[in-house]
Structure 1
Amino acid sequence: MNERLNHIRQLINEGNVDTAISCLNDLILTASSPMPEAYYLLGNAFRKKGDWQGALNNYQEAISLDPDSPAAEARSMMMDILNFYNKDMFNQ
């Protein structure tokens, strides 16, 4: 399983985000137990695509399965970025 996740991580890093998302969705559907790391990687893939809502949703799912997931920090950083940009929009 770790080998499969490492391969998916590599796909995301190389920019093959759609392939990574497809692999992760298959993995989540066929897994015998919940996989917080898969949701975390799915969040990373959506973030790389620019799909902020998709990223946040998957980070939240990873956090609900494992509160100590790295998704908690990733979600927090994304919220900081989004809050920063939204505040700037009001200052124009």
Structure 2
Amino acid sequence: MEEIKNLIYAGKVDDAIQQLNAYIQEHPESDEAYYLLGNAWRKKGDNRQALNNYLEAIHRNPDSPAKNAYDMLMDILDFYYKEMYNQ
């Protein structure tokens, strides 16, 4: 998992997503893999995929750090879309 985290931080998001999808095939109950996959999609700019993967992580482990990431991203999106309507 450390190698995948490093890929995400280095901006090699597509490689990280590919490796995480393969990892999830072998370890479907890994909440950490779904959390990292959410982070990768968020870094790529796909908030919907990020939120979906955070929810998968939370489903597997309600105490996952994905809960904070999900809440934070929802707050950002709520703020952004409210601002769009107030222009």
Aligned equivalent of 2:19: 23
Aligned equivalent of 1:36: 31
Runs of 4+ in 1 over 6 A off after TM superposition: none
Is 1:83 the equivalent of 2:70?
no
Matched residue count: 87
Match of 1:46 among 32, 41, 45: 41
**Normalising by structure 2, what TM-score?**
0.98
**Normalising by structure 1, what TM-score?**
0.93
Is 1:7 the equivalent of 2:8?
no
Unaligned runs of 5+ in 2: none
Identical-residue share of aligned pairs (%): 57
- In the TM superposition, what are the counterparts of 1:35-74 in structure 2 within 5 Å? 35-74=30-69
Unaligned runs of 5+ in 1: none
CA RMSD of aligned residues (A): 0.7
- Give the SS at the match of 1:15: coil
